[in-house]
Amino acid sequence: MNISLSAIRYFVTAAKYENFSKAANELYTAQPNLSKRIAELERTIGVRLFQRIGKQVRLTEAGRLLHQEWAEALDKFDQSLSEARAMQQEQDNVLSLGVLEGVDISAFVPQMQAFQREHPHVLLRLERCGMHRLWQEFDAGGLDMIVTSEVSGAGPSTPPSVVRYVAGTNRGMIAINVRDPMAQHATVTLSMLRDESFIALAQEATPQGYLTLQEACRRVGFEPQVTREAASIETVLLYVEAGIGISLVSGNSRFISNPNIRLVPVDDLYFEDVVYWRANPLHPAVQAVVGSFLSDGPV
Is residue 268 a contact partner of residue 189, using CB atoms and an 8 Å limit? Answer: yes
Decide which of 66, 82, 98 is a domain's last residue: 82
Q: What is the pLDDT of residue 298?
A: 43
Decide which of 82, 99, 133 is a domain's last residue: 82
Give the total number of structural domains in the chain: 2
Is residue 36 a contact partner of residue 21, using CB atoms and an 8 Å limit? Answer: no
Q: What is the pLDDT of residue 110?
A: 82
Render pLDDT for 105-138 as a digit per residue (tens, 0 to 9). 887 788 788 888 887 888 888 999 888 788 889 9
Render pLDDT for 213-253 as a digit per residue (tens, 0 to 9). 888 898 899 999 999 998 888 888 899 999 999 999 888 77
Q: Is 185 a member of any domain?
A: yes
Any idea what the CATH number is for the domain that residue 238 is in?
3.40.190.10
Q: Which residues pair with 175 in a beta bridge?
A: 247, 263
* Residue 274 burial (CB count, 10 A): 21
Q: What is the pLDDT of residue 266?
A: 94
Domain identity same for 173 and 76: no
Q: Residue 41 — pLDDT band, cuts 50, 70, 90?
A: very high
Query: Which phi and psi angles does 263 have, rounded to 5°?
Result: -100, 120
Cα–Cα nearest to 266, from 162, 179, 196? 196
Any idea what the CATH number is for the domain that residue 16 is in?
1.10.10.10
Using CA atoms, how far apart are residues 55 and 191, in angstroms rounded to an integer? Answer: 32
Is residue 18 a contact partner of residue 57, using CB atoms and an 8 Å limit? Answer: yes
Which residue blocks in the chain are alpha helix, DSSP H? Answer: 5-17, 20-26, 31-45, 61-92, 109-118, 131-140, 207-219, 233-241, 285-293
Chain-centroid distance, C-alpha 75: 23
Domain that holds residue 226: 168-273
Q: Is 91 a member of any domain?
A: no
Domain identity same for 172 and 78: no
pTM over cut 0.75 = no
Decide which of 26, 61, 82 is a domain's last residue: 82
Burial class (CB in 10 A: 0-12, 13-18, 19+), 1: exposed
Q: What is the pLDDT of residue 161?
A: 83
Q: Is 9 a member of any domain?
A: yes
Q: What is the pLDDT of residue 59?
A: 95
**3-state secondary structure at position 26:** helix
Is residue 38 a contact partner of residue 8, using CB atoms and an 8 Å limit? Answer: no
Q: Is 289 a member of any domain?
A: no
Q: Is 197 a member of any domain?
A: yes
